[in-house]
Amino acid sequence: MKTTTVLIICLIIVFGSEIIMTVVRKANLDKLAGYLMDGNFTAFDKLINNKFIKFILPGFNIEYLCLNRYIAEMNDEKVREHVDQFLTRKMSDVQKKAVYQQGFNYFIFRNDEKYGRKCYEELKKLSNMGE
């Protein structure tokens, strides 16, 4: 086989696998979101803990989905635990804002002043960084 033929085959395999992974990632995210919307936490937990899911989804996305799962379930203890974990995690400003806004809204709704304030303070730090 010629070198160009081998190169073309390799490129097709690389791009084809990337397209397949994108489709699989999207399909699984849609499944997880559907389980959350339906309140099917057992199916959500089973899928989110799957090794393949942990391979194809970034760690932040998995943890953020879990945070949303506990918010949907109104599991105050687990929401606090996840917010505390995010406080020690390295994240982009966009990720921080998403997490702390989510936490702030939840804790205000649940009348948890301590954690609502904690999220508010983190959001305030982010807004002060831009000044």
- 118 and 83 Cβ atoms separated by less than 8 Å: yes
- Output the pLDDT for position 9: 85
| pLDDT 10s digits, 32-56 | 999 999 999 999 999 999 999 999 9
Q: What is the pLDDT along the chain (131 residues), one digit of tens a residue?
A: 688 888 888 888 888 888 888 899 999 999 999 999 999 999 999 999 999 999 999 999 999 999 999 999 999 999 999 999 988 888 999 999 999 999 999 999 999 999 999 999 999 988 875 54
Quickly count: other Cβ atoms within 10 Å of residue 93's Cβ.
11
User: In a 10 Å sphere around its CB, with 0-12 CB exposed, 13-18 middle and 19+ buried, how is residue 100 labelled?
Assistant: buried
Query: Hey, where are the domains in the chain?
Result: 1-57, 58-131
- Output the pLDDT for position 129: 59
d(CA 108, CA 117): 9
